[in-house]
Structures are given as C-alpha cells and as structure tokens.
Amino acid sequence: MVSKILTTHVGSLPRSKQLSEYLFAKDKGEKIDNEKFENILISNVDQIVKRQLEVGIDFISDGEMSKISYATYIKDRIDGFSGESERRAPADLDDFPEYKEKIANSGGTPTYSRPCCTKELKIKDENSLLNDINNFNKSLKKSNHTKAFMNAASPGVINVFMPNKYYKNDDEYLNKLSSIMSKEYEQITNSNIHVQLDCPDLALARHMNFKDLSDEEFLKRAEMQIECLNNALSNVDSEMTRMHICWGNYEGPHTHDIALEKILPIILKSKIKYFLIESSNPRHAHEWKVFEKIKLPKDKVLVPGVIDSTSNFIEHPEVVAERLIKYSTVVPKDQLMAGTDCGFSTFAGFGKIDENICYEKLHALVEGTKLASKII
C-alpha cells in the first residue's frame, strides 16, 4: 500500500527577466551573445531545480527555461516554418468582447512568432534538445535527485499553433510531425527523464481553432491526434510518459470548454502513464465525478490539478487535501499524484503569478498532499 502521494506540477516556471529578454531577442532573429545566453540559461535551470526541491516537489522539471513557449520552440529545431499564422481568440472571449478588449489592452496577450508550415519539415538543430537535457541532468546530479520530467510539444499542439500550409492535408502533416517529434521523445526518455506531452490540442483547441466544428467532428480529430501521438511514442517506454490536458491557461469565462467526460475515453487510448488534468478552477473542479463513470485503467496514474495556475491566491493546505480526498473516492491512492492545473509561465515573460507566490503555491501543494496522504 502506498503511504505517500507524490507531488509534481505541469512544467513551466517563471524565467528571470534577463533570460526572457534573450529568448525574445532570439525569437525576433536578433543577434545575441550565445555564450552569455548559455550561462544565464544554466544559472536559471540550477536555480529553479533548487527552488523546487526546497519546497519539497517530488517530480521536478527544468521549468522550460530555454523555450519561449511550450509549442513554438519547435520552429528553432525543425526547418520548414515561416511567416505568421492567424491568431484566433477562444470562443468564450468572443462572447464577452469588452473583456477580450480589456485583456488585449492590458498586455494580457503574449507576443511571439507563430509561423506556419510552408515547406518540407526537416530537423535542423539537434543540439538545443541535447543542451536542455545536459543542463537539466547536471543540475539533477548536483542535487542528487532523479525524479524528473521534461516538457515536449505533441504533434497535435504543433498543428494547432503552427498550422499546415504545405502538406496535402492535416493527416499528412500530423504524420510527418509524429515521425520527426518521435526523436525528441526518445532522446528525453533515453536520458532517464520522463517526457511530458503538452496536449491542449485535445481540449483548448475545441473552443479556439475548431470552434466552428461540432463536438462529434472535433472528437474525430482528437482520435486522429491520439493515433499520431501513439505512433510517435512507439519506441518509448510508457512508464516514462506524461500527458497534460489543458483548456487554456488564462483567466476567463471558459464557458465553451468541452467536457472532460467527452474527451476522456479518447485520451485514455494513448500510450501514456501519467495524466495531468485541470481540476481546481471553477469550470472543472466538479469533474472528479467523471471517474465514477469512467474508471481509470489500473496501469495509469491520474494527476489532478489541486493548485490554480491563474490566481495569486495561495491555496490553504487543507483545501489541497480536500481536493485530493475527493479524487481518492474514485481513484485508488496508488494511482494518484498531486499536481497543478497548468504551468506558471506558459510563455516567457508572461504570466499572472508572481515568482515567489508561485513557489509558495507549490509549497502549499506539498503540505496539503502530506495531509491527504495521512487521511486517505
């Protein structure tokens, strides 16, 4: 019997102002001092590894320090992207135009390059990934810590944020992305680091890119995306895999979010061990009940978000414990891990959560999970 529920989070953590400035300069194609950038990057990775361990997180990440965003970093590693893709607002913000304008005017929308696929995709830079792995492993070794994961874009989310303008259709594009991205997933896991596939294409995309489709049409697309993801993971040990499902890491109405009950049966067809879902925000906190109807397979682990990533409220540990206790009524304790709703810095230099508050929220996660572990 498991005595302790482990803790983790979704991945991204606040980057330093200096690092963010370098990432944006790189994104704009400006010339930078690469040696200085590398030194700043290493320092940031060392610092966030240290801070995660100080608050007691079990499964830690490199914070996505080298990436300007969780999806578009791929354009710097794969040749075949150019121009700019159309930006589409989520359907819930379309329903509240004054609020949407307020967000835009307040700088609430991150600005970064989002190109399209305009020619044959080919790997152009393998060193960036190897560098990320090397920097992270060095920091882990210094701390004598082994439980670690690294985020990677799924084929589906790349398709959402950097759409196809070259291949015959989306099926062909997704298959190509699956083939190319498989190398990244394999390199991460071969380095004894769990790979986390970020998959807002299975939730957020429903009310953003595909808001004109019916639920049934969207779910057919989701089936195809899971199939491509499974192909990309064919040479990866499923024990080393995680998936994050996200309806959008922004404070908003979220009135068009597709129900977890509709997408869960498709998601569970993936070759994934750990499933991270939003479950503390007001639109999804009730969905623990879904697991009364749809049982979690015995070879899977559920990681409900018990910390809100869009609010500077620091959750009371007893609130965290209560959320986990609810899940323990529908999911066995040995199939539970405690997590966050989403990342704390989805885009470099962008995020509502104060850096120090972020780590206090993670500390509350740890303390609340300890309480729950004693009760469950």
Q: What is the CATH number of the domain that holds 270?
A: 3.20.20.210
- The pair phi, psi for residue 366, each rounded to 5°, is -65, -50
Q: What is the pLDDT of residue 2?
A: 75
Domain annotation covers residue 193: yes
- pLDDT, position 64: 97
What per-residue confidence (pLDDT) applies to 1?
A: 63
Q: What is the pLDDT of residue 176?
A: 97
- 116, 82 Cβ separation under 8 angstroms: yes
Instruction: Answer yes or no: are the C-beta atoms of 186 and 237 closer than 8 Å.
Output: no
Q: Which two three-digit tokens encode residue 98?
A: 């004054």
Is 187 within 8 Å of 107 (Cβ atoms)? no
Which two three-digit tokens encode residue 154? 């799924």
| 284 φ, ψ (degrees, to nearest 5) | -130, 0
Residue 19 is which amino acid? L
Q: Please, which residues have CB within 8 angstroms of residue 197's CB and are 6 or more apart in sequence?
A: 152, 153, 154, 185, 229, 241, 242, 243, 244, 272
Two tokens, residue 346: 């989805």
pLDDT of 104: 79
Q: What is the pLDDT of residue 256?
A: 95
pLDDT tens digit string along 28-52? 889 999 999 999 999 999 999 999 9
The predicted structure's pLDDT at residue 108: 56
253 within some domain: yes
Q: What are phi and psi of 61, to 5 degrees?
A: -125, 175
* Total number of domains in the chain: 1
Which pLDDT score is estimated for 113? 87
**What pLDDT shows up at residue 107?**
61
Q: Give the domain range for residue 64.
A: 6-375
Q: Give the list of residues 6+ apart from residue 201 with CB closer than 8 angstroms, or none.
A: 154, 156, 157, 159, 160, 222, 225
pLDDT value at position 351?
Answer: 75
Residue 346 CB-half CA count within 13 A: 21
Q: For residue 1, is it within any domain? A: no
Q: List the chain residues with pLDDT less than 70.
A: 1, 107-110
For residue 324 the two structure tokens come to: 């986990």
The answer as to whether 334 is a domain residue is yes
